[in-house]
């Protein structure tokens, strides 16, 4: 038996080693195989010594910025077409460049493109591939631009697309919550403050609360997108260019709302990255709040909700466990998104104008925040759609916790009693009920009159959670009529058919 176990462990160890090796190989930058390696593009003729090979490995960013390839090609095509318009390129040269760039994009999409540490980033890879195809015609493309404005433009294009994706996922999640409202229309839940039972609310009121949070997130994304959607291309390295370019033409071709006005600012600006990361952080925070609440609700102690089992996992030792791991990881991954924002804030805190190589490090935290929030949103929608409220369990304990106490207090206020007097009296009534292990509605009128002789049978009109919910009046409250109005408004806002 010992030999068998030892052999199994050895085999597992070898398998793990091979798998790990494969992961490392896949993660590494593939070495360029198209002829003689090209010198680093940042080293012009002024240098008389080659770059240390360790510097190539230290400074490369193509291992993570290659995901900007589509935006780089689109921006380069717009730049080439503008150069042709102003007469810097001949029409046939522009056509050659556009066709070659489209071909390069196809190679990258098909995973048939090779990468080299010596070419540093995706921008130089695409330009070098263009030069390999077209020679001197390809060398003309970079006229009137720098990698500084090129990178900024590509990143703005990528962030703009990513913002739109996140907004669509937030909208889908809102629709999932709205769809639950009619399904759970007759369910009343205890609302909590300080994690203590406070007042009764309709389940649909709960769901619409999350719609409000995610709507603020969407509003922030839209507002942030306005500042993202400015074209940097043409500001060049730091001071602009003497080439007679047309920046507005490029902006129009790339669907930007306008151009970045100051070349110094353009070269150094990463406000749009940080602002986007902040909005993503708030989205993650809201998802974490929701996840944490449903984790609690799914426990035996609360027993309010059943999470769809396809989004849960088991235990390696306890066969009865159904763990809400997706919700827990949603809560946990929020820490990554918060950390990414902190990284970006620290990255730019002391940089002098204008461009500094530090800014290369803006992309990993930004990409990770988008990736993390997007997968959390992708999983949140089906969890919301598939979860089931445990109605019997909720109803069995709903009258516990004196959820109707505030409604009783306000009933007394409406009858002319000062607020603080009513607050004190109801506190005394609750103390009597608690000492008897009874609900407020279990007391008889004599019990109330012992504390205040003016009380009569009418107080029972507001006791009990259903009466309490029905008593609400204020706009935005959990009153059934108010919730119905809000639900109709949300359906209209989200383009959902009214029932």
Catalytic residues: 194, 315
C-alpha–C-alpha distance, residues 129 and 486, integer Å: 56
C-alpha–C-alpha distance, residues 170 and 211, integer Å: 9
Is 407 exposed, middle or buried (CB count within 10 Å of its CB: 0-12, 13-18, 19+)?
Answer: buried
Bond preceding residue 341 cis, omega within 30 of 0: no
E strand or H helix at 147: helix 147-183
The SS3 assignment for 44 reads coil
Q: Where are the beta strands (DSSP E) in 168-257?
A: 188-193, 196-202, 230-231
Residue pointed to by tokens 């090609």: 73
C-alpha–C-alpha distance, residues 234 and 78, integer Å: 11
C-alpha–C-alpha distance, residues 422 and 425, integer Å: 5
Two structure tokens written together for 241? 């260019």
C-alpha–C-alpha distance, residues 455 and 469, integer Å: 21
Check residue 395 and report its DSSP letter: H
Contact call for residues 343 and 365 (beta carbons, < 8 A): yes
Two structure tokens written together for 488? 């109709």
Q: Which of 120, 208, 259 lies closest to 487, judged by CA?
A: 208
Residue pointed to by tokens 């639950």: 180
Q: Which of 382, 397, 341 lies closest to 365, judged by CA?
A: 341
CB-based contacts of 206-209 (< 8 A; 24+ apart in sequence): 207/177, 207/178, 207/180, 207/181, 208/177, 208/178, 208/181, 208/483, 208/486, 208/487, 208/490
The bridge status of strand 305-306 relative to strand 388-389 is antiparallel
Contact call for residues 107 and 113 (beta carbons, < 8 A): yes
Q: Which of 355, 359, 357 lies closest to 346, judged by CA?
A: 359
C-alpha–C-alpha distance, residues 169 and 205, integer Å: 22
Phi, psi dihedrals of residue 41, rounded to the nearest 5°:
-65, -20
CB atoms inside a 10 Å sphere around CB 101: 25
């Amino acid at each position: 038996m010992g030999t068998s176990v030892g052999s199994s462990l050895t085999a597992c160890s070898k398998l793990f080693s091979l798998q790990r090796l494969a992961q490392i190989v896949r993660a590494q930058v593939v070495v360029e195989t198209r002829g003689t390696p090209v010198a680093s593009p940042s080293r012009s003729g002024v240098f008389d010594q080659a770059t240390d090979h360790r510097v190539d490995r230290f400074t490369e960013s193509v291992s993570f910025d290659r995901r900007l390839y589509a935006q780089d090609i689109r921006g380069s095509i717009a730049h080439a077409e503008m150069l042709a318009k102003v007469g810097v390129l001949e029409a046939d040269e522009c056509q050659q460049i556009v066709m070659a760039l489209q071909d390069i994009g196809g190679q990258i999409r098909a995973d048939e493109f090779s990468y080299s540490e010596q070419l540093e980033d995706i921008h130089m890879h695409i330009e070098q591939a263009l030069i390999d195809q077209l020679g001197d015609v390809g060398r003309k493309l970079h006229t009137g631009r720098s990698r500084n404005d090129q990178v900024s433009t590509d990143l703005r294009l990528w962030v703009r697309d990513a913002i739109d994706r996140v907004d669509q996922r937030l909208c889908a999640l809102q629709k999932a919550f709205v769809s639950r409202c009619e399904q759970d229309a007759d369910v009343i839940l205890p609302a909590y403050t300080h994690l203590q039972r406070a007042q009764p609310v309709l389940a649909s009121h709960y769901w619409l609360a999350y719609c409000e949070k995610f709507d603020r997130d969407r509003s922030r994304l839209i507002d942030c997108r306005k500042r993202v959607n400015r074209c940097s291309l043409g500001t060049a390295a730091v001071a602009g260019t003497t080439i007679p370019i047309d920046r507005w033409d490029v902006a129009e071709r790339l669907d930007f709302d306008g151009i970045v006005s100051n070349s110094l600012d353009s070269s150094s600006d990463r406000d749009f990255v940080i602002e986007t990361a902040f909005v993503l952080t708030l989205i993650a925070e809201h998802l974490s709040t929701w996840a944490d609440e449903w984790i609690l609700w799914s426990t035996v102690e609360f027993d309010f909700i059943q999470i769809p089992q396809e989004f849960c996992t088991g235990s390696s030792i306890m066969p009865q466990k159904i763990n809400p791991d997706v919700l827990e990881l949603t809560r946990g991954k929020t820490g990554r998104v918060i950390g990414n924002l902190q990284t970006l804030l620290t990255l730019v805190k002391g940089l002098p104008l204008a461009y500094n190589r530090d800014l290369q490090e803006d992309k990993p935290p930004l990409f990770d925040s988008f990736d993390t929030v997007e997968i959390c949103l992708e999983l949140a929608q089906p969890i919301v759609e598939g979860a089931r409220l445990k109605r019997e369990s909720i109803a069995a304990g709903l009258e516990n916790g004196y959820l109707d106490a505030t409604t009783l207090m306000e009933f007394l206020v409406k009858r002319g009693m000062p607020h603080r007097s009513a607050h004190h009296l109801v506190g005394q009534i609750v103390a009597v009920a608690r000492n008897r292990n009874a609900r407020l509605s279990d007391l008889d009128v004599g019990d109330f009159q012992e504390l205040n002789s003016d009380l009569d049978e009418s107080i029972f009109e507001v006791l009990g959670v259903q009466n309490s919910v029905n008593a609400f009046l204020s706009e935005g409250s959990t009153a059934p009529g108010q919730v119905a109005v809000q639900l109709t408004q949300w359906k209209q806002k989200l383009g959902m058919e009214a029932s």
